[in-house]
Amino acid sequence: MNRQDSISENAFEARLQALRHSMASHDVDACLIASADPHLSEYLPDHWKIRQWLTGFTGSVGTVIVTAEQAGLWVDSRYWVQAERELEGSGFTIERIQSALDTSYLQWLDRYLSRPGVIAVDGRTLSVSAFESLRVAIDDSVTIRLDLDLPGQVWQERPGLPVEPVTSLTPEVAGRERGEKLQAVRARMRALSASHHLVSTLDDIAWILNLRGSDVQFNPVFLAHLLITSDHVELYVDERKISEVLRAELLHEGIRVKAYELIQQDVDRLNRADRLLFDPRKTVCALLGTTSAQHVRATNPSTLLKAQKTPAELHNWREIMRRDGAALCEFFAWLEAAISRRGEQRLDELMIDEVLTDFRAAQSGFVSRSFSTIAAFQANGAMPHYRATTARHAVIEGDGLLLIDSGGQYQGGTTDITRMVPIGELPKLAAEDCTAVLRAMIAMSRARFPQGLAAPLLDAVARAPLWERLTDYGHGTGHGVGYFLNVHEGPQVLSYKAPIHADMALLPGMVTSNEPGLYRPGQWGVRIENLVCCQIAGESDFGQFLEFETLTLCPIDTRCILPAMLRDDEIQWLNDYHRCVREALEPRVKGAALQWLLDRTEPLSL
């Protein structure tokens, strides 16, 4: 539940004071709180939403530091406006950083922490890499305690861990058998001379085992750890989630189910002859605290394997895009009718989420939303991760821009799409912004590039049309997307601010969002988003080249743009895209939805 909905400012001040009392009783000078759980998930079960409980900030990313005198929340530009609102009266101040990868909080700690001093951070929520960065930034006169969960000690009525059932994917949806996936992971283990492989990231576990759950809102995953050897697999999970039928199915394939909490003792039991492969960015330091096994540090093999979608997965995904596109036609037809009746009945941001979800739910294979829908009118759109609440949302009235960023989880694919809708008369600058963002999206859609190019290097292709106008946006242009898995998936990311490493290479089958934006605080925000897939463009004397196949099927509202700002080749791309959308969706809709589709896919004149 959101702070704005029901919790008073005094409650957050009381929680902060309780935490400081607990710190004093343990002789702790600073408490560091990461937005994480033992699986280093982006989206968390309620049990692990410590930062949100303590501060009231509901964004998905943020780092908290509390000392006896100061309390700060480090957030990137996507959340500055949101954090200002949600932290009001909480006792926390906002520390503005440019990207989620910024580690300036480490320099802050080094500057303000007294010497000698003690920092407490729950080792179950801190990656090995993050701990090493902390240790390097803070001199040896400071003790780092990983054994204290101080916020947990003062969190009364903390929710328990979820116990939702785990299910097995059908062969048609899975696209690849468990045995084949495990064989590929073990091949990488052998290449690294690893005897054991520890996997804690939930989407990797779900992908490897062709299992899905619902422990985390919007993500079809379940809380578990995995320990893989050359001849067997141990799955550590709350055993109440596994039916006897599924247990037998897994055991038949050499996968033994064990209690969730036994992972720690089994890792501790590994001896010096064992070589344990783990990803230091995806494994918490608490799990490795006392093991005698030799460390083999590398990216989880499954991370890259699941990023390259198979032909079977992409075949299913394209069908899901047609279903999702049909649902969107139904929704936008409803929205246009609702806009025309605004004088007769109220239309607000909350209604959009509810109605859009209903239309998606009518499609076969729909499971849930893939994230919390962003329906943002006018100034609310300037907050990239805005979410309407019952206490704070906009009525859609007057003139302006409506931004709708939404997605669905289906058996067979995950969707993520952003569209702009004009409400009444748009200011010329708003239309110019929409057109510039469309040009940016088209530029990325049409890009050709060498196979293996580091994804962050491609980011400038989309930004160039915005940089021409001396504008920019604070978030990345794109993120990887999972196959009926997390809507945010690595390793690829289209952001020039991201560190470049070998795993960032763009390869055939990778599905990525393409979502440039432009935000004017207090006025409006613009973002247009499709999902695209890397495909082979051809080979020449200069090597093999890739291009993007656009997967998303939904018209882009041309009433938001100024065609005179587009080049002929950009207009041709838009007309070709709308022709494909019409051909794919026309057989699937009728009535008002069909008429909306036909109207919104009319070609622009060259």
pLDDT along the chain (606 residues), means of 10: 52 93 96 94 93 90 92 87 86 85 83 90 96 90 94 93 96 94 98 98 98 96 97 97 97 97 96 97 93 96 96 98 98 96 84 96 97 95 89 91 98 98 96 98 98 96 97 95 96 92 93 98 96 97 97 98 97 98 98 98 94
What is the pLDDT, as a whole number, of residue 501? 86
Of the candidates 166, 167, 159, which has an alpha carbon nearest to the alpha carbon of residue 238? 166
Phi, psi of 143 (to 5 degrees): -90, 135
CATH of domain 308-600: 3.90.230.10
d(CA 284, CA 344) in angstroms, rounded, equals 55
Strand, coil or helix: 538 = strand
Q: What local confidence, expressed as pLDDT, does residue 343 receive?
A: 66
Does the pTM surpass 0.85? The reply is yes
Beta-strand pair 530-540/543-550: antiparallel
Would you state the pLDDT for residue 9?
61
pLDDT of residue 59: 84
Query: What is the predicted pLDDT for the residue at 289?
Result: 82
308-600 and 167-306 share a CATH fold: no
Question: Reduced to 3 states, what is the DSSP secondary structure of residue 552?
Answer: coil
Q: Which residues contact 473 (CB under 8 A, 6 or more apart)?
A: 384, 463, 466, 516, 517, 518, 519
Look up residue 245 and give its two tokens.
């039928």
How far apart are the C-alpha atoms of 2 and 375, rounded to whole Å? Answer: 17
pLDDT in tens, 66-123: 999 999 999 988 788 888 888 988 899 998 987 767 788 888 888 888 889 999 999 9
| Structural domain boundaries in the chain | 3-154, 167-306, 308-600
Architecture of domain 167-306: 3-Layer(aba) Sandwich (3.40)
pLDDT score at 346: 86
Q: What is the per-residue pLDDT for 107?
A: 86
Give residue for tokens 């649902």: 327
| Alpha-carbon span 579 to 358, nearest angstrom | 27
Cα 165 from Cα 167, distance rounded (Å): 7
Identify whether the C-beta of residue 11 lies closer than 8 Å to the C-beta of residue 1: no
* 3-154: CATH, from 3.20.20.80, 3.40.350.10, 2.60.40.10, 3.30.160.40: 3.40.350.10
* DSSP codes of every residue in 240-270: GGS-HHHHHHHHHTTEEEE-GGGHHHHHHT-
